[in-house]
Amino acid sequence: MPVDVLTELLINRPAAEVAAFAGDPSRAPEWYVNIKSVEWQTPAPLAVGSRIAFVAHFLGRRLAYTYEIRELVPGERLVMSTTEGPFPMETTYTWAEEGAGTRMTLRNRGEPTGFSALVAPFMAMMMRRANAADLAKLKAVLEAPR
């Protein structure tokens, strides 16, 4: 069963600022609740083909995976994917000006295999919760007084 989770939130900051922060993999631990560490496998800056290793904790498990950047339109869209582990995943960020702020979308799509396939509906529900928490944390970080 495929999993496709789309979460979006309006952030009261300019799109260029939101995209620069959220689109920088090094900053992921600052706003992703479950991501614990990031390690560049290829030299910065971010470009199509860049590879970034992440360590996360999700549903009580440690997950280590490497994303490869598949598409990058600075300030508008970032697509990255991994084929590792029991849950190959594609993650897409989009940023669009909306009023005085930015509508950010976070989409996770994948086709779980093995045991993960059996619990896909539960995983989708938990991913929805985690993504909503992540975007809320991103909003709080970016909208905090400076």
Tell me the per-residue pLDDT of 14-67, one tens digit each, with 9 for 90 and over: 999 999 999 999 999 999 999 999 999 999 999 999 999 999 887 788 888 999
Count of the separate structural domains present in the chain = 1
pTM of the entire structure?
A: 0.91
Q: Is 36 exposed, middle or buried (0-12, 13-18, 19+ CB in 10 A)?
A: middle
User: What pLDDT is stored for residue 43 in this prediction?
Assistant: 96
Q: Is 96 exposed, middle or buried (0-12, 13-18, 19+ CB in 10 A)?
A: middle
Residue 76 and residue 60: Cα distance in Å, rounded? 33
Which CATH number belongs to the domain containing residue 25 in this structure?
3.30.530.20
Residue indicated by tokens 């909306």: 98
Q: Which domain holds residue 33?
A: 3-143
Pick the more confident residue, 71 or 115. Answer: 71
